Amino acid sequence: MKIEKIGFIGTGTISEAMIRGLLAESPALLHVIVSPRSAEISQRLAAEFAEVSIAADNQSVIDQSDMVVLAFRPQIAQDVMSELKFRTGQSVLSVIAATDRQTLLGWIGVEVQLVQAIPLPFVARREGVTAIFPADNDVADLFSVLGTTVECDTKQEYDLLAAASSLMSTVLGIMDMSAAWLEDNGLAADKGRAYIAALFTSLSQTAMRSDVPLVDLSREFATKGGLNEQVLSDFKAKGGHDALISALDRVLRRIKGDTDT
């Protein structure tokens, strides 16, 4: 990877996941500089990894880094940014949710190489898929260490993948509802969970390995008149499909800043 020194402003959950992914096995970076906050997380990381050092303050993170990651909450973003000075041409990676490129560039105030990304907690195990916008070789290399990267050519593509990333709780919720149904009907909780988790893993791996359209894959598992066909047909007939599509439409409107959603 070309980037050797990366700095994190906001050492919270997602920064910790990225840093662990980058350093836990065969470290991908020479030096990681973290902001003092959160004190507990930054101290834990510095104690665990020789490559991590804690900067005196946020500005010092910028001054020491080739690439700066902005990883604090959107509610405080403007206040934090108003105190910082970036170098012209510096590489800046924002993982701040719901804050668009023009707003970030306005706060930064000088010409920087700005890329936005949506890392997911799986990056800690180098298993995350990360959407980035716009396409950028250095940032794509970084997230390729942490799993896989999808480079978006337009804001619309990026917003769509942000909407897709909001399916995580629902998919886990479907697993939970199915496992709870098994338990209510007399199957031991650990057996139900072991079965459901493995079933979803196999289905995801099948989709990952194949380039057959998903609709055809779904049909392959639905024997005519069989059990899978019956559940899919009930799911659609009883509003499952419509509920999913309208939830995605509504979250996309929120991502795009429609305040009525």
The residues that touch ligand NAP, with contacts defined as CB under 6 A, are 9-15, 35, 37-38, 58, 71-74, 76, 80, 95-97, 118-121
Q: Cβ of residue 58: shortest distance to ligand NAP, in angstroms? A: 5
The candidate with the shortest Cα–Cα distance to 58, out of 74, 40, 82, is 82
Nearer to ligand NAP, 42 or 192 (CB): 42
The CB-of-194 to ligand NAP minimum distance in angstroms stands at 26
- Please report how close the Cβ of residue 96 comes to ligand NAP at its closest, in angstroms: 4
Least distance in Å: CB of 35 to ligand NAP? 5
Buried b (16+ CB within 10 A) or exposed e, 179-208: beebeeeeeeeeebbeebeeeeeeeeeeee
The residue count of the chain comes to 261
By C-beta, is 38 or 178 nearer to ligand NAP? 38
- Tokens 């990681």 identify what position? 32
Report the run of H or E that residue 59 belongs to, with start and end. Answer: helix 58-64
Nearest approach, Cβ of residue 207 and ligand NAP (Å) = 22
Nearer to ligand NAP, 48 or 190 (CB): 48
* Residue 139: CB atoms within 10 Å: 24
**Distance in Å, CB of 45 to ligand NAP, minimum:** 11
Give the chain's end-to-end CA distance (angstroms, integer): 41
Q: Which helix (H) or strand (E) holds 235?
A: helix 227-237
Nearest to 139 by CA among 160, 165, 158, 163: 158
d(C-alpha 185, C-alpha 193), whole Å: 14
Note every long-range contact of 203-212, with CB atoms under 8 Å and residues 24 or more positions apart, other chains counting: none
Cβ distance to ligand NAP smaller for residue 28 or 104? 104
- Smallest gap from Cβ 17 to ligand NAP, in A, equals 7
Residue 11 or 149: the one with the smaller Cβ distance to ligand NAP is: 11
Closest to ligand NAP by CB, 140 vs 187, is 140
Give the closest residue to 17 by CA, choosing from 98, 106, 95: 95
Q: If you write DSSP's letter for every residue of 194-224 in order, what string do you get?
A: HHHHHHHHHHHHHHHH--S-HHHHHHHT--T
| Nearer CB in complex with ligand NAP: 97/174 | 97
Residue nearest to ligand NAP (CB): 12
